[in-house]
Each structure stands twice: as structure tokens, then as C-alpha cells.
Amino acid sequence: MPGTLTDDIEILDVGRGGGTDVPAGGDDDGEPSGGGFGRVPDRAYFTLIQLSLAGITMFFMALTSSLLVRKGLGNDWISFTLPRVVWVNTLVLLGSSVTMQISLRRIREGAIASFRNWWTLTTALGVLFLFGQVAAWRDLRAEGVFLTTNPSSSFFYLLTALHGLHLLGGIIALLYVLFRRWRRSRITQSTAASLASIYWHFMDGLWIFLLALLYLGR
């Protein structure tokens, strides 16, 4: 049924449930944005991060089911003991999530110097984790366990490498948050830090999941 003019008058309240209500054109510091694209509201960045995590989840779920199927269908799966250093790495990564939360609290309180210290520590723990993962690979190689040795080791190298790659992206994001000049940007440093933290905590949780998978599924 076509609407009538009366219907139109009833829906005059254009703001009701609509899209972007107020164009978020200006910056936090009151300067005009560099261009019209500055209208993108902060929440779009949060949507972007959350959606990315959905995509990343599908990616790792595909690999998880591959592991389960490969292990279930083949008869050549040989267990190996995970290098001890991965447990240390896990503590390091968990610690980085804690320091990140402290850091976030600092920036929201306006304690910028303290924020920078805690943020730097978080980044350093991330880097330490990656070095730790490389150390785990070296331990395995020393024991003669290589990528092609067995499907169990193939999945270990693959999943740790792909998680490491994603975490490396996180480290780059952390450095970006730390070193970018935020005065003339579309979002505040605090918002950027919050965005990076969502990704970082997700990578932390993802590692716990992968570790459980590799440990229980070894």
C-alpha cells in the first residue's frame, strides 16, 4: 500500500532512531577538521574494531576446525610436549593486559606521563612475548620438531605464527598510539588507546584459546 501524505506527517520526527544525529566534524581541541571526512563519529572506529575481531574469529575458527578435523581423520598425529617457555610467554601476555588497563585508567585521569610509562611497558611486554614465542620455536627445533615433522607441529608453528603476526599488528598500533601527534587528528589519543586496547585484550584471549587448543589437542 502506498503511504499517504498523512503518513508522512506522522513521521516528521526525523531524528527518531535515525542515523548519525550530529555530524562529529570538529576535533576534541575545537579545531576544524582537516576535511569533510572528519564527520566520521568516534563510534565508527569502535564498530570497525569489533567487526575486525569477528572476521579474525572466523579466520582462527577455520584453523581450529582444521586442526580438529585433521587430527580426527588422520592416523598419524603424534603428540609433543609444548616448550616450557610458552607458559612464561602466556604470563607475560596476561601481564600486558593488566598494564594496559592501568595505562588506560591513567589517560582517562589525564595523567599523560604515567600513561606513557605504562603504555610503553605494555608494548615492551608484547615484544617480549613475541621473542618468547621465537624462543619456543628454537626449543622445538633443537628437539628436532619442525614444521613438517608432524601435523601436530605444523599446527603449532602455524597457529603461533599467525597469532604472532596479529600481535605484531597490535604492537604497531600501540606504537602508533604512543608516537603519533594527536593534536590535529580525528580522534583523541584516549579514544585511540581504548580502540587499541580492545584489539590487544582480544589477542590476549585468543592466545589463551589457542594455547588450550594446542595443549589439549596436542
> Helices 151-179 and 189-216 sit at what angle, rounded to 10 degrees?
170
35 binds another protein (CB under 8 A): yes
20 binds another protein (CB under 8 A): yes
Could you say which of 94, 158, 175, 214 contacts another protein (CB under 8 A)? 158
79 binds another protein (CB under 8 A): no
Exposed/middle/buried for residue 57 (C-beta within 10 Å: 0-12, 13-18, 19+): middle
144 binds another protein (CB under 8 A): no
Selected range binding another protein among 37-45, 82-90, 122-130, 193-201, rule: CB under 8 A:
37-45
Which residue lies nearer to another protein by CB, 77 or 87? Answer: 77
Could you say which of 29, 31, 74, 176 contacts another protein (CB under 8 A)? 74
8 binds another protein (CB under 8 A): yes
Residues in the chain: 218
Beta-carbon count within 10 A of 173 CB? 19
CB of 9 to another protein, least distance (A): 6
Could you say which of 25, 95, 164, 217 contacts another protein (CB under 8 A)? 25
Selected range binding another protein among 54-62, 80-88, 100-108, 123-131, rule: CB under 8 A:
54-62
Binding site for another protein (CB under 8 A): 1-5, 7-9, 11-12, 14-21, 23, 25-26, 32-41, 43-44, 47-48, 51-52, 54-56, 58-63, 65-66, 69-70, 73-77, 147-148, 151, 154, 158, 162
